Amino acid sequence: MIHRSSRNAQKLDVAGLNEITVLIDRSETALTEVAFNSWSPGLDGPPHAHDAKEQNFFILTGRGEVVIGGERFPAEPGDFFYLPAGVVHQSIGLLKDERLAYFLFNAFLDSSKEGHASFAAHIELVKETRRKQADTQQSGVQAPAGARRGLKVSTQSLASLSTTLIARSQTQKCEAVHHAVPAGVLLAFPADASKEQTFYIVSGSGRFLVGDEGADVAAGETVFLPARTSGSIAAGGDGLTAVSFGTIV
């Protein structure tokens, strides 16, 4: 189990456009990478694509739009987006005084992980390209034939114990579930050889248990479980909401 908060995490500046706070690095996992991504206020971000990974955004702050393959989706806190590999996408902040920020979950399609050993190495190699894409508002990328469509789901009114946001059948290598755990309830996650699991605590608090390990968790924190690892989370007195991301390995 890896339990992280953003307090002492590595921060990466992407050519003054956005700041990435690395929570779980690609060097620590089989096919998963997790971060916070925060865009400068009022910015039309760079249109770009990733051939070797799928992405999921869970909006935390700000108002804006997420453009996926030419489709424009309004974005506000609580919205969840799936971005297919190879499809041009763009983050647009509509507020001049607040950053558009989201929890970012990357699911790599193969073990090469874009050929970069770490998130920092990846950003160092692409940041000037991202600056040019933002300045010109051109991606320079041709969409692959038969590419999947992007998806948006709102979590604002979800109250069930576990609700599927993105099903494995809709993607190549990932899935996502929203959990609303009442106070005092224990929610178990069985060992699964087919996926790594990442949990982002949206609100509330509780205690995560993995074998003999235990960690108190609170809003804004992340827990990563390797494949074949079982765990459980006990919600605290105010209950707990979380989003779990599965990367298919």
The pLDDT, as a whole number, for residue 145 is: 78
Assess whether 14 and 129 both reside in one domain: yes
Same domain for 126 and 23: yes
The residue whose two tokens read 């205690």 is 207
Same domain flag for 64 and 181: no
Domain that holds residue 13: 2-136
Does any domain span residue 151? no
What's the pLDDT score for residue 166? 97
- If asked whether residues 129 and 224 sit together in one domain, one would say no
Low-confidence ranges of the chain (pLDDT < 50): none
On whether both 87 and 43 belong to a single domain, the answer is yes
Q: Are residues 91 and 10 in the same domain?
A: yes
**Domain identity same for 10 and 111:** yes
**Phi and psi torsions of 138, nearest 5°:** -125, 135
Sheet holding 79-83, edge to edge: 10-14, 18-24, 32-39, 100-108, 53-61, 79-83, 151-154
- Tell me what pLDDT residue 54 has: 98
CATH of the domain at 11: 2.60.120.10
57 and 175 inside one domain: no
pLDDT tens sequence across 56-110: 999 999 999 999 998 999 999 999 999 999 999 999 999 999 999 999 999 999 9
27 with 70, same domain? yes
pTM (whole model) above 0.75 = yes
| Residue where a domain stops, chosen among 136, 168, 201 | 136
Q: What is the pLDDT of residue 84?
A: 96
Question: Do residues 21 and 107 both lie within one domain?
Answer: yes
The predicted structure's pLDDT at residue 59: 98
Query: What is the predicted pLDDT for the residue at 119?
Result: 98
Look at the chain and report how many structural domains it folds into. Answer: 2
State how far the Cα of 227 lies from the Cα of 59, in Å rounded to an integer.
Answer: 26
Q: Both 229 and 189 in a single domain?
A: yes
Q: Write out the DSSP string of 119-181.
A: HHHHHHHHHHHHHHHHHHT----PPPTTPPPPEEEE-TT--SSEEEEE-GGGSSSEEEEEEEE
Gap between the Cα atoms of 220 and 201, Å rounded: 6
**Has residue 62 been placed in a domain?**
yes
